[in-house]
Amino acid sequence: MTKKEAQERLPLLRSAIETYRHKYHVLNESDISEEALDSLKHELLEIEGLFPDLVTPDSPSQRVAGAPLPGFTKVTHKVAQWSFNDAFSEEDMRDFDTRVKKMLATEYGKTVIPTYTAELKIDGLKIVFEYQKGKLVTAATRGNGTVGEDVTENVKTILSVPLVLKEPIDCIVEGEAYMTKTQFEKLNQKQRSLGLEEFANPRNVTAGTIRQLDPRIVSERNLSVFVYDIARIEGTAPESQDEELARLAELGFRVNPHAKHCTSMDDVLAYWKLWHDKKDKEDYLIDGVVVKVSECEYQDTLGYTGKAPRWGIALKFPAEQVTTVVEDIAVQIGRTGVITPVAHLRPVLVYGSTVSRATLHNEDEIRRLDVRVGDTVVLQKAGDVIPDIVKVLTEFRTGKEQVFDMPTECPECGAALVRKSVGTKGQGTSAALYCTNTACPAKDRRVLYHFTSKHAFDIEHLGPKNLDLLLDAGLIDSRADIFTLQKGDLLALPRFAEKSADNLLSAIAKRRTIPLDRFIVSLSIAEVGEETARDLAKHFKTIENIRTASEEVLTTLDGVGPRVAHSLRAWFTNSHNIKVLDDLLAQVTVTDISQAGTGTRLIGKVFVLTGTLPSLEREQAKTLILSHGGKVSSAVSSKTSYVLAGENPGSKLDEAQKLGVPVVTEAEFLAMVGK
């Protein structure tokens, strides 16, 4: 980024962050997720780090978010309140560890090895409590760090807050008020029964509840509090963060039991990864881990910046929503000829992986979002879900953004693009555009990519890169050609030696026999997915029975409607496809799927898979479910029997918990099928 670009971008970032912060922290409203707001703040800090001379005193990076609401008495904090800087990756934490050790070494004149205390970062509202002679006298929100709101009467209704400590001492402590997931669901059930709008999330409800002018409403909503810090205390102060937590518990405060003493940054990162996987099992929202230098002496030495302690940092879990910039929009051609617009993005880390592209689906979706080249957008990704642009932040527009127009001709072959008729009588048109050239080379290439993929023939060592090599060298032109390759053909290609050639030929040989359902999937017939292919295979037994079946016969099969039946007949009566099929059948053997053995353990059971399983690949799990009579669905509903969840499960797990659908681990699933 040039300095001129930074000067244009920074005012937009600062204005947007202040607007969203005010809505989030003061008005308890959320136009974008907290994760997306974090992403904007992260970008601001990065640019200001590149150009320190552009940092202004009123930048959001220089002050704590929030301001007192009118209607509450203002309280000037006796101890200044800070917010932690954020970290988003292992690299960020290694940098933090290096900074801490470097500063301590400079101050002490020798190498100093601090330890850390890692605590769960509860997603709620910070409260500052003051006790005099052991009695609660004031509870205040953080506000702007200097002045907060007096919410004492409301906080007194929270049963986990002690009104009198176990010792008659003076102290100021800090904690987090929150609403449990269980209580949040009860509150929304009440809202639904009254015909009222449901609340968006527990954090917003907590903030709004604490700011209620009627304490009776607060009492009814049953909030909870964890206390995690001593800001000031009478007598001998604890010497470490671990001792602080123990002292707080002695005084009668509710302390989160999951804090961990860590002797190294490796320990901290292991704790972070552990709780990323476990966080959804707790009855409160956890959005990261707070990491503090444990030794209070070292904390005092490290001190503070203008807005945050140097001895602590908030390590966020991988965000499901971030912000980025659309740098270009291009189109790609799918195996069925569909033309899909794809946004090329400024690379951004979302949910643990760097993303630089996101599908825009079709022309209608582009118009609905009004997304343009140059726009700042909110990108969403959860677990195994494909990244999706969900919102355009139009306040970032400068007038330089470019409206994207879908092409009218195929960019690969020049053929006309059309919208297909849909409906049994062609009463509508598809949202997608299609290339009208049945021999479009780009479409043929995508067909081959799909043909060798895990969903179809599953040929190891034959992914898109090697297929491109074979196609560009003229060694293959069709699917059947793959099975005619010779070792000499491969050795003439770059990246292929004796061993790699042998490995590929061996992988191809292993796939000369294939079950009928996977064979149907490999043909790339429009409207026919894996479940429909399996239903067809079970019913018709052979490919010959399917290729000769009429539309009327096809529609008698449960799950095959007129649209699917028409697509099947159109494919099997097309002269090009007939040759493709005959050539393939001359090279491979297609077996009745019953020959693979079908169990009955999961008959009538519908599974949804989410996250990464410890040992099974997604396709292996699907095969096990199907081979035992079960079904696999892509979405959780009331008809779902089980959700099979692994690491990074995403929103499907939340939906399962909301609907009361049983969630099973890989081990529990394997027990179901007798493995």
Q: How far apart are CA 54 and CA 59, in angstroms?
A: 10
Q: How many CB atoms lie within 10 A of CB 417?
A: 22
Conformation bin of residue 514: beta by default, left when phi > 0, alpha when psi is -120 to 50: beta
DSSP lists the bridge partners of residue 312 as: 292
Report yes or no: 16 and 31 within 8 Å, Cβ to Cβ: no
Q: How far apart are CA 455 and CA 530, in angstroms?
A: 8
Q: How far apart are CA 52 and CA 59, in angstroms?
A: 12
Q: For residue 547, what is the enclosing H or E element?
A: helix 543-548
Q: How many residues does the chain have?
A: 675
Identify the active-site residue in 121, 126, 443, 652. 121
Token output for 590: 């297609």
Q: How far apart are CA 359 and CA 344, in angstroms?
A: 9
Tell which residue, 162, 197, 205, 161, has the closest CA to residue 181: 205
* Spatial CB neighbours of 67, under 8 Å, sequence gap ≥ 6: 22, 25, 26, 143, 144
Q: For residue 606, what is the enclosing H or E element?
A: strand 606-610
- Amino acid found at 575: S
SS3 category, 500: helix
Token output for 67: 């301001």
Token output for 141: 């929100």
For residue 319, report the phi and psi dihedrals to the nearest 5 degrees: -75, 140
Q: How many CB atoms lie within 10 A of CB 349?
A: 16
Tell which residue, 272, 261, 252, 248, has the closest CA to residue 295: 261
Rounded (to 5) percent helix, strand, coil in the chain: 40, 25, 40
DSSP letters, 420-470, are EEESTT--EEEEEEEE--TT-HHHHHHHHHHHTSTTTT--TT-SHHHHHHH
Report yes or no: 417 and 435 within 8 Å, Cβ to Cβ: yes
Residue corresponding to tokens 């169990």 = 599
121 a catalytic residue? yes
DSSP lists the bridge partners of residue 311 as: none
Report yes or no: 93 and 265 within 8 Å, Cβ to Cβ: yes
Own/partner long-range contacts of 26-30 (Cβ < 8 Å, ≥24 apart): 26/66, 26/67, 26/69, 28/204, 28/207, 28/208, 28/211, 29/204, 30/200, 30/201, 30/204
Q: For residue 203, what is the enclosing H or E element?
A: helix 202-210
Token output for 392: 């355009």
Classify strands 86-87 and 312-316 as parallel, antiparallel or unpaired.
parallel
Q: How far apart are CA 360 and CA 387, in angstroms?
A: 10
SS3 category, 548: helix
Report yes or no: 74 and 148 within 8 Å, Cβ to Cβ: yes
Could you list the active site residues?
121
